[in-house]
Amino acid sequence: MDFSMPSGSSSLFNIPQLPEDGSNWVTYKNRMLIALRACSLGEYVEGTATKTAHYVANFVGVVVKVDRSTASQDEIKENRKEVNEYEQKDSLIQQHIFSTITDCVMLQLESLDSGSAMWKELQKLHEGKSALVKVVWEIDSRCSHIPSFSECLQSPSESSLTTPNCT
């Protein structure tokens, strides 16, 4: 199965570059997640995919499973296939993140060991800091009073709401 995304010329997966200031975070995040899910990578970026453990050789050279029982040749082959599939999908996420961020941001992420960890770090860096949120903060700071949700629920006789004084 091919998990790669179409080339950059495809409008279907038009993921914008994420600038260092994260000014387009909301758009970037939504498009990236939709594209990754379309390629069956959603559970990998979310960190819910189960990583298959490598079978290893014990001290006498016999390949053993996680429970320390001896693995058959078919089990070893299947294990390698599962491990490779997980690593391939995770690497695709890392590559798509790296191809849409600046070198400076990449330096902050490159030591992380999975696409999911990189995505979580990007969220920490940019969540709530996009231009859309900045506009809301700017409007809020210019208004002397914006009613709270509980104030809006009060009846008109109980409410002391005033018209917001926006300059």
What stretches of 51-148 show up as alpha helix (H) in DSSP? 73-98, 103-109, 115-126, 131-142
Distance CA(25)–CA(133), nearest Å, equals: 10
- 2-7 contact pairs (CB < 8 A, 24+): 3/39, 3/40, 3/41, 3/88, 3/89, 3/92, 4/39, 4/92, 5/35, 5/39, 5/92, 5/96
Q: Which residue has the tokens 């969220």?
A: 123
The pTM of the whole model exceeds 0.75: no
pLDDT tens-digit readout, 101-138 = 999 999 999 999 999 999 999 999 998 765 554 454 45
Residue 162: pLDDT band (50, 70, 90) is: very low
Among residues 89, 1, 5, 2, the alpha carbon closest in space to that of 48 is found at 89
67 CB neighbour count, 10 Å cutoff: 6
Residue 93: pLDDT band (50, 70, 90) is: very high
Contact 25, 130 (CB under 8 A): yes
**Domain ranges (residues) in the chain:** 25-145
At residue 100, the 3 state secondary structure works out as: coil
Q: Which residues does 43 contact at the CB level (< 8 Å), separation at least 6?
A: 49
pLDDT tens-digit readout, 34-76 = 999 999 999 999 999 999 999 999 888 899 999 989 999 999 9
Residue 14 has a pLDDT of: 81
